[in-house]
Structure 1
Amino acid sequence: MPWKVALLSASDKGSRGESVDTSVQVIRELVEEELDGEVIEYRIVPDETSEIQAALIEMADYHQADLILTTGGAGLGLRDVTPEATLKVAERSVPGMAEAMRAKAMLRTQRAMLHRGVVVIRGRTLIVNLPGDPKGVHELLMAIIEVLPAALLQVKGLGREIDA
């Protein structure tokens, strides 16, 4: 079953056309090659809580994406508000997936603990915050890629419930 995936980039410079978001291309390739997913929506918004929230709601509720992958805005910078915006639209949290991503990345660098990204559920959509750099995006997404199909099936109500 091809998964419907939406991509959201939170970037002040990107939203003004001052930089190119190379992380999105990494995500797109992994979604298509490793997840059998189809990108149905892509958007760049500034690092503003309200704009990130609005985009996430539209992608989940209107476009009915199975999975939303965000990139950027999840560090310690003053304008990094993606996790807060994501939590505001969330109905449930999936902390184990976020913890797994950080744990995998920390095997390479202790700086991975500075990534504040969250994984949540809104309706029947899984939302995953990824870092803003291509290397970090690849590493963190690959840490959960094998589990994503089972997680998406469960979020859709089609998979077997798993108790840890």
Structure 2
Amino acid sequence: MSIQITNSKNTKRSHPDEIWIGLISISDRASQGVYQDEGIPALENWFGKALSSPWHLEARLIPDEKEIISKTICELVDVIGCDLVLTTGGTGPSRRDVTPEATLAVATREMPGFGEQMRQISLKFVPTAILSRQVAALREIENHAALIINLPGQPKAIAETLEGLKDSEGKSMVPGIFAAVPYCIDLIGGPYVETNESVIKTFRPKSAIRNKP
């Protein structure tokens, strides 16, 4: 089972800096209609608040099957042309949790810093964060590359991972992983992504910051 927000195979980018984001929610029961998926709506809501530059979403809801996960990642990157692919679910130690393996099976290079930071954030809340096997990686094909990141499955954990931890005054205590995503997209040849700093402040070296007219 899969869902699509739009049919991008027949759609062109509305702006040169429009980022195309693929969302993959991985759950046997949600994909079978046993319960409502929460991962995709949570991410769509978060991007609505966080991004200030143009963006477009493609979403898929699929079961915990390694081959299906890998094929879906390849579809979103190779066929649709997504610059960023985020998965939710399937990163624990149970035998049905195969998202990291499926991600690395179609990756060209791993980006271990993202997984390390995600676990550091989650450890502030629960000691079982060390059981998470979330990975991030690049998939590079001719003339295109994308960043793929495995996120937690719970909406609250998704937001915490992306935004990081803030104190009562809104000051950052532990950086969220999305602070580094726009610069990574720059480095692999993708669009220039800008964010709403009240949600997440992007970090770029001064030499990489675009001068606005």
Q: TM-score, normalised to structure 2's length?
A: 0.70
Equivalence for 1:88:
105
Instruction: Name structure 2 gaps, 5 residues minimum.
Output: 1-16, 164-175, 193-203, 206-213
Tell me which stretches of 4 or more aligned residues in structure 1 moved more than 6 Å.
157-161
Equivalence for 1:2:
18
8 A contact 2:118–2:177 mirrored in 1: yes
User: Which structure would you say has the larger Rg?
Assistant: 2
> Secondary structure at 1:145's aligned position in 2?
helix
Equivalence for 1:148:
181
Two-structure CA RMSD over aligned residues (Å): 1.9
Alignment pair present for 1:40 and 2:57: yes
Distance in structure 2 (CA, Å) of the matches to 1:140 and 1:118? 13
Which runs of structure 2 are paired with 1:1-164 in the superposition (5 Å)? 1-36=17-52, 38-123=55-140, 124-142=145-163, 143-156=176-189
8 A contact 2:83–2:190 mirrored in 1: no
8 A contact 1:27–1:137 mirrored in 2: yes
Call closer, same or farther: CA 1:157–1:33 in 2, change over 3 Å. closer
- Show CA shifts across 1:29-65 (max 9, x none): 2223213463431111110000001100000100110
- Per the TM alignment, residue 107 of structure 1 is displaced from its structure 2 partner at its CA by 1.7
- Per the TM alignment, residue 157 of structure 1 is displaced from its structure 2 partner at its CA by 6.5
8 A contact 1:74–1:80 mirrored in 2: yes
8 A contact 1:35–1:149 mirrored in 2: no
Instruction: Name structure 1 gaps, 5 residues minimum.
Output: none
- Show CA shifts across 1:12-37 (max 9, x none): 01111111111221111222321346
AA in 1 matched with 2:91: A
Q: Which has the higher helix share?
A: 1
> Secondary structure at 1:147's aligned position in 2?
helix
